[in-house]
Amino acid sequence: MAPEEIIRKYYRPGSKAYEFLLTHSRQVAQKALQVARGSGLELDLKFLQEAAMLHDIGIFRTHAPLLGCYGSKPYICHGVLGRQILEAEGLVRHALVAERHVGVGLTVEDIRRNNFPLPLRDMTPQSLEEKLVSFADLFFSKVGDPLKEKSLKEVKPLIASWGQDKLRVFEDWLRLFRYPAG
Ligand SMILES: [Fe+2]
């Protein structure tokens, strides 16, 4: 399976959204593989790379003009939209990575409390690969320059601004993946 071929079914090469998606997804994939190697954990690296390349495929159906996306849905929906696209492609495992990667994952309570226009189901990463794509993505968050890798010192306050429970999830992942401190 070639992730870039699937991306080209939905994105026009040369468009702003395509260039952003490809650059961002390659960065996240590279980061995820690098963290995987340092973790000592047994991960499915082929699946990890593919899923990292495809995790944001739903963005073109959202309204994110800065990323060249002119869809009708709010950006928060891009994970679920990605799941729908990937399921239609027959990629059910990759689809779950897309749905569950937003932030450090969305709980039913998050969706309810924030009135997000999302189905009320648990959207937190479960498998190691799901967690790792979500984790790697946080180093390239869309706040500030989305293409510049953020340091741990920059990532943590952003996550803390979403809530202490979110920061705890992130800190669990730092330990899980034996991510170097500092
Ligand atoms: Fe995303």
Ligand 1 midpoint to CA 40 (Å): 26
Ligand 1 midpoint to CA 142 (Å): 9
| Model pLDDT for residues 30-41, shown as the tens digit of each residue | 999 999 999 999
> What count of residues does the chain have?
182
Ligand 1 midpoint to CA 146 (Å): 11
109-123 b/e with 16+ CB inside 10 Å = b? ebbeeeebebeeeeb
Closest to 176 (Cα-Cα) out of 95, 104, 92, 108: 104
Ligand 1 midpoint to CA 182 (Å): 25
Ligand 1 midpoint to CA 52 (Å): 10
Cβ pair 83, 95 in contact under 8 A? yes
Q: Could you state, in order of their start, the residue ranges of all structural domains in the chain?
A: 3-176
pLDDT of residue 7: 98
Ligand 1 midpoint to CA 77 (Å): 9
| Model pLDDT for residues 70-117, shown as the tens digit of each residue | 999 999 999 999 999 999 999 999 999 999 999 999 999 999 999 999
Ligand 1 midpoint to CA 79 (Å): 6
Which tokens hold the place of 124? Answer: 């937190």
Ligand 1 midpoint to CA 59 (Å): 8
pLDDT of residue 19: 96
For the chain, give the mean pLDDT: 96
Ligand 1 midpoint to CA 133 (Å): 10
Pick the CATH number of 3-176 from 1.10.3210, 3.40.50, 3.30.1490, 1.20.1270: 1.10.3210
Cβ pair 56, 78 in contact under 8 A? yes
Ligand 1 midpoint to CA 102 (Å): 6
Ligand 1 midpoint to CA 39 (Å): 23
Ligand 1 midpoint to CA 18 (Å): 14
Burial category of 100 from C-beta neighbours within 10 Å (exposed 0-12, middle 13-18, buried 19 and up): buried
Tell me which H or E stretch contains 70: strand 69-70
Q: Is 64 helix (H, G, I), strand (E, B) or coil?
A: strand
The reported pTM is 0.96
| Model pLDDT for residues 123-148, shown as the tens digit of each residue | 999 999 999 999 999 999 776 777 79
CA end-to-end span of the chain: 37
